[in-house]
Amino acid sequence: MNASKTMVVKIGSSTLVGRDRVLRRDFIAQLASQASELRDLGWSLVVVSSGAIACGAPHLGFSRRPADMPSLQACASVGQCILSAAYDEVFRAAGLNTSLVLLTRHDTARRSSYLHARDALTRLVELGVVPIVNENDTTTVDEIKFGDNDTLAALVSCLVSADLCVTLSDIDGLYTANPSLDPTAELIPVVEKIDARIIGSAGDSTTAVGTGGMITKIRSSRILMTAGIRSVICSGAEERPLVRLARGERVGTVFVPPADRLEIAPRKLWIALGDSAHGTVTVDQGAADALVSHGSSLLPVGIVAVEGTFSAGDTLDVRGPSGTVLARGIAEAGSDALELACGMRQEDIACNRLLVELAHKPAIHRDNMIVFA
C-alpha cells in the first residue's frame, strides 16, 4: 500500500551516538518501530541521518573528532558502513526495507541532477522503502558540502514533497533563549513567522559530536515554511514523537507555513536549496520592500553592497538592511559588474560602456528568485 503522506526525520549525531561514543541501536530500534506504525497510519518515512563520522572515529582509534579533512573522510567511510548495517538489520527485523542515499552538492547544484535525485527518492518511497539519506562525507570537501544535515533535510523534504519534516535533536525545541545558559528561557510551541526575534533566540547549541546548531535549524525551517511544508524541532528523547505527530499531537516547536502562501514552483525550490550561495548582495529598505511585498525583480539601484566573487548564473543570497537573508536568486551579471552598478539607475547604466550587459536586465530577475517566508 502506498502511503498518502510523507514524513522526513532528521537525526543529529548527538541523538544517534551516545556519550560513550557508541551507536545507539536501541534508538534505531525505536525508530524502526515508529516507522512500522507510521506505515499503518498511512505515512512513509525518509530518514536523514547524521552520525557517520561519529561512528567511525572511535573504530579508527581517534579519541575525539579529528580536525583534518582526510581523517574526517576516513572516519566517514568506516562509520557509514557501521551506520548503514545497523539501519538495515534493525529495520529489516521490523519488516521494513531500507536503502542508502548519499548526496553531495554535485548531485543537486545542476538542475538535471537535482531532478534525478528527486525521481530516485520518490520511487523508493513509492516502493515502500525507507531511504536513509546522508551527505557523502567521504568524498566531499568544503566547496561542495551542504554544511549540515539540517539543510540536507530541508532539501530532501522538498525533493519528496514531504508533508512534515521533523528534526530530532538533543533539545526540546526552540526556546526564547539558550536554556543551558538562561534558566528563565521558555519553550516556543508555535512559530508562524521567522523574524529577527526568532533568529536572535536561536543562540548556538553545537555539540562535541555534531556540526549543526539551532541557527541552522531555524534557517532550514524558514525554507520549509516558504515551500509550504510544516516542520518540527523536538527532542530525540521524547516518547514516540513521530507517531504522536502523525496523530496530530503537539510535540516540541512547530513551524507553520503562512496560510496565504502561494505554491512555489519546483524550480524556485531548487534555487533555494540545490546549490550553495556563491556571493551576497545587500539591498536598501526600498528594494527589500519591493522584493517581499510586490514580487519585484532586483535592480542594481537597490543594491548597497556586493560580497564574494561570482559569475552570471551563480546563486546569490539577498540580504536586507538588518542583515537577514530575504531571498536567494540567480545573478544576471558577475560580481565585478554588480559592484560597479551598485545604486545606479538603469538609464545611467545604459550610458556606461563597462556595464552595458546590465542596461536592459535586472541584477536578479524575479523568475529566478525565491523570497523566503
Write the DSSP symbol of residue 246. H
Instruction: Please give the grid coordinates belonging to residue 215.
Output: 541557527
Give the cell for residue 283: 539591498
Cα separation, 325 vs 338, whole angstroms: 18
5-255 belongs to CATH 3.40.1160.10: yes
Considering the entire predicted model, what is its pTM? Answer: 0.86
Task: Provide the residue ranges of all domains of the chain, joining segments of one domain with +.
Answer: 5-255, 277-371
Encode pLDDT of 93-151 as tens digits.
999 999 999 988 777 888 888 899 999 999 999 999 999 999 887 776 554 355 578 88
Above 90 in pLDDT, residue 251?
yes
pLDDT at 211: 40
Angle at 193 between CA 253 and CA 321, to 5 degrees: 130
**Counting every residue, how long is the chain?**
373
Cα–Cα distance measured from residue 68 to residue 330, given in angstroms and rounded to the nearest whole number? 33
Q: What DSSP assignment string belongs to 143-189?
A: GG---SHHHHHHHHHHHTT-SEEEEEESSSS-BSS-TTT-TT--B--
> Bridge partners of 165?
8, 231
What would the pLDDT profile of 210-242 be if each residue is shown by its tens digit?
344 788 888 889 899 999 999 999 999 999 999
Is the pLDDT assigned to residue 205 strictly greater than 50? no
* Distance of alpha carbon 105 from alpha carbon 118, whole angstroms: 14
Say how many C-beta atoms besides its own lie within 10 A of residue 14's C-beta.
22
CATH code of the domain occupying 277-371: 2.30.130.10
CA distance 299 to 364: 7
Is residue 256 helix, strand or coil? coil
